Amino acid sequence: MTHLHLSQHPLVITKLSQLRNAKRSPKEVRELTRDLSILLGYEASYDLTVSEGATTQTAYGDYALREVTARVGLVPVLRSGLGFVDGFLNIFPDAPVYHLGLYREKVSLQPVEYYNKLPDQPNIDICYVLDPVIATGNTAVATVNLLKEWGLSGSQIKFVAAVGSEIGLAQLQEKHPDIHIYIAAIDETLDNTGYIVPGIGDSGDRLWNTV
């Protein structure tokens, strides 16, 4: 069974198509990115365990409280992963947010870690890694490496992205076949600077109106 989940939801397809448009304003990009994160978050949380708790009441009778008991944590990859945070906090309002900063070195296209806000020991059951783009796959692989070194197993890690390249997703699956990946679209190629074609452009620059 594959661990790569390509969304077929009509709203995901529509929102992503709108996000691809280079003429969208930063405000529109942030709103569309947030909308996508909520939709993908619902798909990526479908298998969370629900437990039965205390008995409480409706206006007409008793019922057993049912809720998700897993401790969920969010790991946005700076900068563009921040665009997914608000949407996921809409679903998991009490989830801790642990930031990881990695930038892609321009010549080698290899990730360089510059910020790590993980606590000393894992205190979560499920980790959602948030990064709108999986291009070369190098940053994604490095991020999962850090989380496994931290103490999480692959079954505890879910990687959520808007767009991935075929080569980047293949590398992530090869290096970490035990994680689940949730994605809105898979694009075929990269350009000579490592950006996905057609992709969504530089996600961080578009979100935060920088160049």
Specify if 171 maps to a domain. yes
Q: 185 — phi, psi (to 5°)?
A: -160, 150
Which pLDDT does position 28 carry in this prediction?
Answer: 97
Tokens 């909308």 correspond to what residue? 35
Specify if 179 maps to a domain. yes
Which pLDDT does position 114 carry in this prediction?
Answer: 84
DSSP 44: H
Which pLDDT does position 211 carry in this prediction?
Answer: 75
Which pLDDT does position 109 carry in this prediction?
Answer: 66
The continuous run of DSSP H or E covering 127 comes out as strand 126-130
Specify if 156 maps to a domain. yes
Which pLDDT does position 174 carry in this prediction?
Answer: 96
2: its two tokens: 């594959």
Specify if 45 maps to a domain. yes
Say how many domains are in the chain: 1
Specify if 61 maps to a domain. no
Which pLDDT does position 159 carry in this prediction?
Answer: 98
Query: What confidence tens digit (pLDDT) does each residue in 135-169 have?
Result: 999 999 999 999 999 999 999 999 999 999 999 99
Low-confidence ranges of the chain (pLDDT < 70): 1-2, 107, 109
204: its two tokens: 């961080």
**Quick one: CA dihedral 209, 134, 89, 125, positive or negative?**
negative
Specify if 146 maps to a domain. yes
Specify if 11 maps to a domain. yes
pTM for this predicted structure? 0.92
Nearest to 202 by CA among 35, 40, 26: 26
Specify if 57 maps to a domain. no
Range of the domain at 22: 4-51+67-204
Cα distance from N-terminal residue to C-terminal residue, the chain: 41
The domain that contains 188 carries what CATH number? 3.40.50.2020
CA-to-CA dists, residue 123 to 43, 55, 156, angstroms: 23, 28, 12
